[in-house]
Amino acid sequence: MRILAAMSGGVDSAVAAARAVEAGHDVVGVHLALSRAGGTLRTGSRGCCTIEDALDARRAADVLGIPFYVWDFSERFRDDVIGDFVAEYRAGRTPNPCMRCNEKIKFAALLARAIELGFDAVCTGHYATLIDGEGGRELHRAADDAKDQSYVLGVLTAEQLAHTYFPLGTTPSKAVVRAEAAARGLSVAQKPDSHDICFIPDGDTRGWLAEKVGTATGEIVDREGSVVGSHEGAHAFTVGQRRGLNLGIPAADGKPRFVLEVRPVSNTVVVGPKEALAIAEIAGTRHSWAGAAPVDAEFACEVQIRAHAEPVAAQAFVEPDGVRVVPRVPLDGVAPGQTAVLYVGTRVLGQFTIDRTVSAVPAGA
């Protein structure tokens, strides 16, 4: 196949490209420039897509003997990922920018351009497995549970999966990938993995949002509506947060309180006991299927609401206005804006963005 290898400058994408070359494919490397004002150097494992990363990707391509290009996707990234991130926080939701980047950039904009140029597939260093099943290509978990990235790939559609290549999916561990990189003479063999949000390299999400969204004093209230504190901007709070609340009135039982809800219209933050974070039902309208859509409108599955959360057995309902999921045991600290990914065993069925939740502990209970 003609393969376009997305090379981030990290060890995973470098080894994935190397394996594509070794498999006999015609491979071209490409690095995506996602920011026109990125820092010149990383800070440890923080940040990505810097000038240093582009140079590391080029060096890896040189070792592999493949053509290499840098493509400017900064405008798309600004609009579809950063813009979405800010808009979601303004709306009181907690977004996952990695999901949007995979959905809008790596497997939409990049894949579309690759196909236009005659490539058969885009290759990345993601840890996930593709299986050609009876109903078409299926997305499954990686062999290494610790590195599995199928959750953040849950936004991929059947058409996108048909043009995707994940050479690392069956690799037993990251240590194997690093050893292979070293044996191949790739300088990124021991390069730290990227963590946190790539466009906020200092890790100060609250400060970054304050610059983008601004500050506005508002009230912190309990479930009964009594004012128990104040804040400088509701966007700085997420469901499940305990620290940094600065409440002026302690709870009657003396126990810690957690953020239960963010109301952007009134600039209000609702807090309450930890028990109230238990969620009995979630639903969302923005959904997609990773392959063939379910045949039945109701089916048993597992739901996962964070990248490394344990999947929970559930019943899913495909309804006219989206997807609704009822877990067998309550979910903990679910925030609107998060992504719910549905599985059956190791297979990813699809995903939806959570916009409605039902508490397992009603107010006053």
Q: Which residue has the tokens 């939740």?
A: 357
Instruction: Give catalytic status of residue 101 as yes or no.
Output: yes
- Report the alpha-carbon distance of residue 213 to residue 228 in Å, rounded: 24
277 in Cβ contact with 332 (< 8 Å)? yes
Query: One of 98, 101, 123, 301 is an active-site residue; which one?
Result: 101
The SS3 call for residue 359 is strand
Crossing angle of the two packed helices 11-22 and 174-183, in degrees rounded to 10:
70
Q: Which of 257, 222, 259 is nearest to 240 (CA)?
A: 259
- Report the alpha-carbon distance of residue 219 to residue 234 in Å, rounded: 9
- Structure tokens, 175: 């240590």
Q: Which amino acid is at 105?
A: I
- Report the alpha-carbon distance of residue 173 to residue 69 in Å, rounded: 29
* Phi, psi dihedrals of residue 109, rounded to the nearest 5°: -65, -50
Q: Which amino acid is at 18?
A: A
C-alpha torsion 328→334→337→339, nearest 10: -40
The SS3 call for residue 153 is helix
Q: What share of the chain is helix, strand, coil (3-state, %, to 5)?
A: 25, 30, 45
Q: Which of 150, 142, 85, 89 is nearest to 351 (CA)?
A: 150
Transcribe 189-240 into DSSP letters. Answer: TTPPPPBS-TT-TT--HHHHHHHHH----EEEE-TT--EEEEES-GGG--TT
Q: Which residues contact 179 (CB under 8 A, 6 or more apart)?
A: 189
Instruction: Give catalytic status of residue 123 as yes or no.
Output: no
Q: Which residues are catalytic?
A: 101, 198
